[in-house]
Amino acid sequence: MPYGYRTIVGVFCLLLGCCLLRLSLFSLPARLPAQRIEGQALRQDLYVLLERLTENSAFFALEPQRRQAALNQAAHRLAERYPISITGDRLAAEITKLLSTLGDPGASVAPFPTGAARLPVTLRPYRDRWLALTLAQRPLDPDYPFISHIDGIPLSRWLQASQAYLPTQMQQHAGMQAFWLERLGLLRQDIGLRQRPEVTLTLSNDDQQQRQLILALSRQTLAPEPGLTESEVPGLTEHGLAASELRQWVSEPELQSPTRPSQLETDMGAEPELARQAMRISITNLDELAINPILQATLAAGLQRPLLLLDLRHAHGTHPELLQLLTGYDDGPKAKRPLGFANYRRAPGLRNDYLGPLNFIPLEESSRQPRQTAATDSLATTQPRPMLMPMPGQQAFSPFYVRPYPSVSSPSGAFPANNRLALLIGPDCRQECEWIAHSAKSWSRVTLIGERTVGDLGRKYYFTLPNSGLRIGVSASLAYTSEGQLLSGVGTLPDIELTGGEPLEWHRLQELLSPQPDDLRHRLALLQTEAQTETQAPGAEPQPLQTAQH
C-alpha cells in the first residue's frame, strides 16, 4: 500500500517530536540530593555504598578483611543511630567519616554541607598548642595568643572529633586538622552540643592566664577555594594586595618588563636587584599550562631567574608539561630509572589503557618503544617490581604499569645550570602535582617548602547513591615509587615545613636558597639550630620557617 505525502510528513513530524522530547530531558536540572532520608532509604544507600567500595576501591583491596569489618561496623552504627530519618547534610558528614576508614586521601562526598557554621577565627598549630588568629593572620588577642577551649570544652576534645573525618595517616596533618577544626557546626553535632549563633572562645598565654571571648559565627562554604586568597597569603595582604592582583601576577605579561617592579619586589619590600634575582609564580591548573601561551611565557621567564619560587599548593590536573619543563633542574641521570609504577583495581568494563590519562604504559609496551631503550633495559634488570601488596589483594589488581621518566621539553642549557627552584607544596597539591613534588624531592637544585602532601595520585571512580543523591568518589588505582614503595596515601615530605597561612620571610628564604647545592643541607641545619636557641616573648609571632624532621 503506497503512502501519501501527508502520511510521510506526519510520520516524520511524529519522529521529530519524539526526538525533541527526548532531548528536552537533558535540559532538566539534575536531581537535587534529598533534604531528608528515611530509615529504610538510608539502609539501602549504605548497602549500595558498601557494595561499590568492595568492588571498586583500590585502598579497600589493600586490606580487604580489616577494612570490610571497619566499614560494616561504621555502617551498622550509622543505621542504628538514625533508625527513622536523617538529613542530607548530616548523611554527607557521616559518610565522610565512614570513608576515612579506607585511608584513601582521594575519597570525596558531594555535595557537602555548604551552610554549616564555622569558627570566625583562623587556627594555626604552634608546637603543642594552637594560635587563634584573625583572617589577616594576626593574633586575635596579642596578650592571649593561644586557644584552649571552645564553648567551654577543651580543644583536645574538638581535635578528637575533627580527626574522625580524616584517614589515619592524615590525622596529624596540621593543615587538614585546621580545616576540619574550624567546622564548628559539624563538630557540635558530633560532640552533642546544641547549635547557637555565637561561640565562646577561651584564650590563654604562656603564664596560663585565661580570658573568654564571645563571637558571632560565620557561615561559609566548606570547600576550599582553588588558588591563592588573601587569607592564605598573609605576606601579600600586609601590602594591601587584592586577589585579582594575585591572578594578574601570573597572567599579565607586562609584569615581566625589567623597568616595572615585579610582584615579588612588592611582596618582599626588597631592592630591585633582589627582585631581579628571584621570581614567584602560582599555578593552580596544570592542564591549562599546555594551552595558555601567556602562562607559558611567564614560566619561561621564571626559569631564567637564579631563584624561581613556584607555588603549587593548590595545583591539580594531569598534564605532564610542567614536569617536563622542571626536569631541567635534575642534574642526575634520567634514562636509567622510571618515574614510578601504578596498577588499578580490576572491574568490569575497564580497558588496559585505563591509566593512560595518568601517563602510564604497560611494562611490556615500554620495551617496544625505541626511544625508551635505556629505561627499558633498566626496568627489565635492575628495577624492582612493586611487591608490597598483600597476597589476598593481588588478584584484585591489574598488572603493573610504568611511567617513563619524562623527556625534557626544552633543550639542555635553556636556562642556566646553577639556577635554583623552590616548590611550595601542601595537602591540596594533587594528581600530577604529587608526581612533581615526589620527583623534585631528589633533585639537588630544588627545595620543597610547605606541608606534606597527602598522596592523592590515583584515578577516581564515582557513583551516586540512589536515595540521597550523594556522589561518592574513591581512588581506583595506586601509585608506587621507582623503588616499588607505595606512594598513594603516603605523600611527600617537604624540606622546610611551613604551615598553611604562615608568612614567608623573603629575605631569609632568599639567603637560605642562595648557597650551592652541597651547602644547602648545612644551611638548613643552621636554621634549625637558630630557631631552637631563639627566645620569644609571650604572644609573639612564631617562627615562620622550620626545617622538617626526617
CATH label of the domain that carries residue 141: 2.30.42
Quote the pLDDT of residue 332.
72
Q: Same domain, yes or no, for 311 and 236?
A: yes
The 3-class secondary structure across 359-374, one letter per residue, is CCEEHHHHCCCHHHHH
Secondary structure letter of residue 112 according to DSSP: P
Last residue of a domain, one of 365, 380, 403: 403
Is the pLDDT at 517 greater than 50, yes or no? no
The mean pLDDT value of the chain amounts to: 77
The answer to whether position 310 is within a domain reads yes
Regarding predicted confidence, which is higher, 220 or 189? 189
Is the pLDDT at 149 greater than 60, yes or no? yes
Q: Could you please report the per-residue DSSP string of 528-549?
A: HHHHHH----TTPPPPS-EE--
Q: Same domain, yes or no, for 148 and 202?
A: yes
Last residue of a domain, one of 219, 241, 261: 219
Determine which helix (DSSP H) or strand (DSSP E) holds 501, and give its type and residue range: none
| Cβ–Cβ under 8 Å, residues 75 and 49 | yes
Q: What is the pLDDT of residues 366-424, one digit of tens each?
A: 555 544 434 344 444 444 455 544 444 568 899 999 999 887 655 444 567 788 899 99
Q: Same domain, yes or no, for 214 and 361?
A: no
Cα distance between residue 204 and residue 196, in whole Å: 23
Closest by CA to 342, choosing from 401, 273, 388, is 401
CB burial class (10 A; 0-12, 13-18, 19+) of residue 375?
A: buried
Cell representation of residue 268: 618582599
The answer to whether position 145 is within a domain reads yes
Provide the 3-class DSSP secondary structure of residue 87: strand
The answer to whether position 323 is within a domain reads yes
Q: Could you please report the per-residue DSSP string of 220-279?
A: --SSPPSS--GGG-HHHHTTT--HHHHHHHHH-GGGG-TTS--HHHHHHT--HHHHHHEE
User: How many domains does the chain fold into?
Assistant: 3
Provide the 3-class DSSP secondary structure of residue 48: helix
What distance, in Å, lies between the first and last C-alpha atoms of the chain? 87
The answer to whether position 267 is within a domain reads yes
Closest by CA to 479, choosing from 106, 108, 168, 97, is 106
Q: Same domain, yes or no, for 178 and 143?
A: yes
Give the structural domain span for 122. Answer: 117-219
Cα distance between residue 8 and residue 198, in whole Å: 71
> pTM of the entire structure?
0.75
Quote the pLDDT of residue 541.
43
Is the pLDDT at 527 greater than 70, yes or no? no
Q: Same domain, yes or no, for 255 and 356?
A: no
Q: Same domain, yes or no, for 251 and 174?
A: no
Q: What is the pLDDT of residues 42-58, one digit of tens each?
A: 999 999 999 999 999 99
Bond into 111 cis (ω within 30): yes
Secondary structure letter of residue 508 according to DSSP: H
Last residue of a domain, one of 184, 219, 254: 219
The answer to whether position 93 is within a domain reads no
Secondary structure letter of residue 345 according to DSSP: B
Regarding predicted confidence, which is higher, 345 or 511? 345
If pLDDT is split at 50, 70 and 90, which confidence band does 467 have?
Answer: very high
Pairing of strands 496-497, 446-450: parallel
